[in-house]
Chain A
Amino acid sequence: MIEPPLVSPPTLADAYRLLAESVYRPIAGGTDVLVQLSGQLGPPPDRLLDLWRLDELRGIELDGDALVLGALTTYSGIRRSAVCRDLLPALVEAAATVGAAQIQNRATLGGNIANASPAGDMLPVLLATDATIVVGSIRGERSIPARSFWTGYRQTALRPDEIVIRIRIPLVADRQVRFRKIGTRRAQAISKVVVGLSWVAPTSGSPWRTVRLGLGSVAERPIRVTATEAFLEGRLPTPDTAAEAAQRVAAEIQPIDDVRSTADYRRAVTARVLHRLIREAGSW
């Protein structure tokens, strides 16, 4: 086990100062980083910056018409949060599918975002809800839309001295958000396909507006499928809509074969899940 030097700053200002001076790998819940210390997944980090003491990065609150979650919010924290359960149950559903209790008690939303795995389960929900990732450094804060945060395979828009500090999810009237994860078993499974879908409709009989479809594990990064979104815009959740949308999403994505699944399976399952979500919305 490799034990790189670790610093554990007591305040966010101290953390920013350290990050401005040298390159550190941040560590939040450690559920991805500690696995990397085995050295079996490529070179381990040279230096670690432990974020765990930074209470500035904790807390879930309502700020005007947005839900704001600190980067150190754990999945257990999301599951326990009455605000999340009431206002964004899809986020709670997603959190409940990550790992098992041991993981959920430590692993953080900020870690899932910065780790930038194409299979990160929370990321399609953040895409579907137009979330903003707020990042900070000694130079100040800036907001990055989720849509442009993941730039390539395990690549993000974070600069080396920046950390994720909070996540801002706008709450939109009459918006519905849905989450589905397909894995090999209910717990401890890396997803084969993850789906986050949202739309705005005042009643179940209203045409869909502002449709967002975020997908995980079907590309080198979490993506939105904008052509399928455009097709769904203004439509009613009818059998015809579902059938056509399923075909379109299967054509729009370019998944790959890997150890967890095949491209064909991922394409077929993504189409089926979308079909089913539309069917459920239309109650037919």
Chain B
Amino acid sequence: MTVRFVVNDDPVELTVPGARRLLDVLREELGLTGTKEGCGEGECGACTVLLDGEVVDACLVPISQVDGHTVQTVEGLAARRPSVDRPAAPDDLNQLQWAFLETGGAQCGICTPGMLMAGQAFLASGAPATDAAIREAIAGNLCRCTGYTKIIEAIALAATRRDQAESLGPTSDHAGRP
């Protein structure tokens, strides 16, 4: 079937089997390999992306259900991709990505894209960043390396900066994207 949707602000149109997983379309058809496959059955959250702003496991969504909708992947978070010649600077990354770097929220990295998307949805919800609320927001994302503490710290740090930026007004936000 022919599906049309928006990925990270870019409109796409594809003809693919309707039962193909969003995960496979992102990785194989669109080359967006930032989204990872851990378990392929909804348990680990490594494939978490935002569909119309809400977290979903891309391994459980058939592409037929994405037609007409909007997807955001980890590739859509940074303003500019770091490279070997030009390592990431604070302004290239969004606040949450930068907070992961500062706190050491990523180790092997396989869970990180999913954690970032879950964290991003949580920050966008505007919910107060209590420890319990952050834990619930990432309850569908497994990490075998960090023990979660630094991931939770990263989300809390980004939330603190979000709240400070809000109280200072819109122009003071140095990296409020997206």
Contacts and interface: CB of A to CB of B under 8 A. Distances in A.
Contact of A106 (B18, B45, B60): B60
B64 A105 contact: no
Contacts of A101: 54-55, 118, 121, 136-137, 139-140
Interface in A165-215: 186-188
Contact of A102 (B19, B56, B62, B65): B56
Interface centre among A29, A48, A100, A102, by most B CB within 10 Å? A102
Contacts of B140: 99-103, 187-188
A48 B1 CA distance: 13
Nearest to B23: A1
Interface in A150-172: none
By DSSP majority rule, is chain A's interface helix, strand, loop, or mixed? Answer: loop
B41 A30 contact: no
Given A35-B42, A186-B139, A187-B140, A105 B56 contact: yes
Contact of A30 (B1, B17, B62): B62
A34 B21 contact: yes
A133 B60 CA distance: 26
B131 interface: no
Interface string A93-115: 00000011111011000000000
Interface stretch (A2-10, A217-225, A255-263, A272-280): A2-10
B55 A105 contact: yes
Interface string B57-97: 10111101101000000000000000000000000000000
A35 B60 contact: yes
Interface residues of B, number: 32
Contact of B19 (A5, A35, A105, A187): A5
A100 to B, nearest CB: 3
Interface string B122-149: 0000000000000011011100000000
A260 to B, nearest CB: 14
Given A6-B18, A6-B19, A30-B62, A99 B56 contact: no
Contacts of B177: none
B118 A6 contact: no
Interface in B41-57: 41-43, 45, 48, 51, 54-57
A24 to B, nearest CB: 12
Interface in A5-51: 5-8, 27, 29-31, 34-35, 37-38, 48, 50
Nearest to A100: B140
Contact of A187 (B21, B48, B136): B136
B20 interface: yes
B48 A50 contact: no
Contacts of A100: 45, 136, 139-141
Given A8-B18, A31-B60, A105-B54, 18 more contacts: A1-B24, A1-B40, A6-B64, A8-B64, A30-B60, A30-B61, A34-B59, A35-B60, A50-B62, A99-B42, A99-B140, A100-B45, A101-B54, A101-B140, A102-B45, A102-B48, A106-B57, A188-B139
Interface of B: 1, 17-21, 24, 40-43, 45, 48, 51, 54-57, 59-62, 64-65, 67, 118, 121, 136-137, 139-141
Which 9 residue pairs are nearest across A and B when measured between Cβ atoms? A100-B140, A187-B139, A6-B18, A100-B139, A3-B19, A6-B19, A3-B17, A34-B60, A102-B140
